[in-house]
């Protein structure tokens, strides 16, 4: 199967390295790579080792191909079967990922993405477009990193009924709450340390205020609960008012405090909630966890590392292999 990678930062490069290792990924051929400065196309397959070297040393693959080549041009011109969209998330406009994904689907290409923006802005539109073109649109990596939340939900829904979904969907805030609880430190101190470690961004507002959690909740609700909701439908409270004292009191009573996104037919909200210490949603550090409320099985929870290039690569590759498994050889 022929792949076109849009975006060649940490994620794209991690993916390229996994594909290079061969083995079970030997049927994947990368026929195009585009980054912010340009790109390279080759129907015979791109020499990935060279692309990685050029990208590391020059900061772009444009040097081995065409300076200024745009992703949209590349998507239109390439004979790729599948576009892997890995540009950064923009939750206000969904761009540039939204245009990339639209173009790919319109030209009959499967899409696998890690970009939350287009899904938060235009989930139904993209899903309908994919369906009308008879191609697949997969986005496991947008929620829970390496945790196969969406495919697990499909399996659960086949023999049971999913009544609701809730979870710890943001690794940064979970890391902050975990450190505050374990060491009694103030939120400011922990955030500064998390920024130094690269766990929190320079402007951590989207995480701290619960916006990132809400975006993932919207994706879960639309894809798993078959709802049609937008970010503005989520009632959001972040963690900024949680103190180490509150965590200490909770713990003495057998609880911890987690930032939980919750969705069911009654509505969507994100807010700090008490969680019993031995409940599966009490997970430490940068872990994420998603809990399904089910008619027969009551509750099934899955947890794992929600971010990081290797973890996200694992989710992207599983999506890519699913597309490969259900497509005729090409």
**What is the per-residue burial (b if ≥16 Cβ within 10 Å, else e) of 99-135?**
bbbbbbbebebbbbbbbbbbbbbbbeebbebbeebeb
Site string for a second copy, 87-116 (x = CB under 8 A): ------------------------------
User: What is d(CA 248, CA 250) in angstroms, rounded to the nearest whole number?
Assistant: 5
303 binds a second copy (CB under 8 A): yes
List the one residue from 18, 60, 87, 173 that touches a second copy (CB under 8 A). Answer: 18
Nearer to a second copy, 1 or 320 (CB): 320
User: What is d(CA 16, CA 43) in angstroms, rounded to the nearest whole number?
Assistant: 16
Hey, how many other C-beta atoms are within 10 angstroms of the C-beta on 233? 16
- Closest distance of CB 161 from a second copy, Å: 9
Residue of 24, 216, 258, 266 with catalytic role: 216
278 binds a second copy (CB under 8 A): yes
List the one residue from 68, 92, 134, 158 that touches a second copy (CB under 8 A). Answer: 158
248 binds a second copy (CB under 8 A): no
Q: Which stretch binds a second copy (CB under 8 A): 37-45, 69-77, 121-129, 290-298?
A: 290-298
- Closest distance of CB 157 from a second copy, Å: 9
202 is catalytic: no
Owner of token pair 């374990």: 182
Nearer to a second copy, 189 or 321 (CB): 321
Instruction: Give the residues lining the site for a second copy (CB under 8 A).
Output: 18, 24, 145-148, 151-152, 155-156, 158-160, 178, 256, 276-280, 282-285, 287, 289, 294, 296-305, 310-311, 313-322, 325
């Amino acid at each position: 199967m022929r792949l076109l990678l849009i975006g060649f930062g940490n994620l794209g490069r991690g993916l390229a390295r996994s594909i290079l290792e061969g083995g079970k990924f030997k049927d994947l051929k990368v026929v195009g790579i585009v980054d912010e400065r340009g790109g390279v196309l080759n129907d015979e397959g791109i020499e990935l080792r060279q692309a990685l070297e050029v990208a590391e040393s020059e900061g772009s693959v444009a040097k081995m191909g065409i300076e200024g080549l745009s992703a949209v041009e590349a998507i239109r011109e390439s004979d790729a079967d599948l576009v892997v969209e890995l540009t950064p998330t923009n939750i206000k406009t969904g761009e540039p990922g939204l245009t990339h994904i639209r173009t790919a689907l319109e030209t009959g290409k499967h899409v696998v993405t890690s970009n939350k923006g287009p899904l938060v802005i235009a989930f139904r539109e993209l899903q309908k477009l994919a369906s009308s073109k008879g191609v697949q649109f997969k986005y496991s990596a947008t929620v829970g990193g390496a945790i196969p939340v969406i495919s697990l939900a499909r399996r659960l829904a086949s023999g049971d009924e999913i009544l609701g979904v809730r979870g710890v969907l943001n690794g940064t805030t979970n890391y902050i709450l975990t450190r505050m609880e374990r060491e009694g430190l103030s939120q400011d101190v922990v955030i500064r340390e998390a920024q130094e470690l690269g766990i929190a961004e320079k402007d951590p507002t989207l995480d701290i205020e619960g916006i990132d959690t809400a975006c993932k909740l919207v994706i879960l609700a639309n894809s798993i609960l078959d709802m049609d909701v937008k970010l503005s439908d989520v009632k959001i409270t972040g963690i900024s008012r949680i103190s180490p004292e509150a965590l200490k009191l909770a713990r003495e009573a057998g609880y911890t405090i987690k930032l939980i996104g919750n969705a069911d037919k009654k509505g969507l909200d994100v807010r700090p909630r008490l969680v019993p210490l031995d409940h599966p949603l009490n997970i430490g550090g940068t872990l994420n966890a998603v809990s399904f409320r089910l008619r027969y099985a009551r509750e099934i929870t899955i947890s794992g590392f929600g971010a990081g290039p290797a973890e996200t690569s694992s989710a992207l590759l599983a999506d890519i292999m699913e597309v490969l498994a259900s497509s005729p050889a090409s």
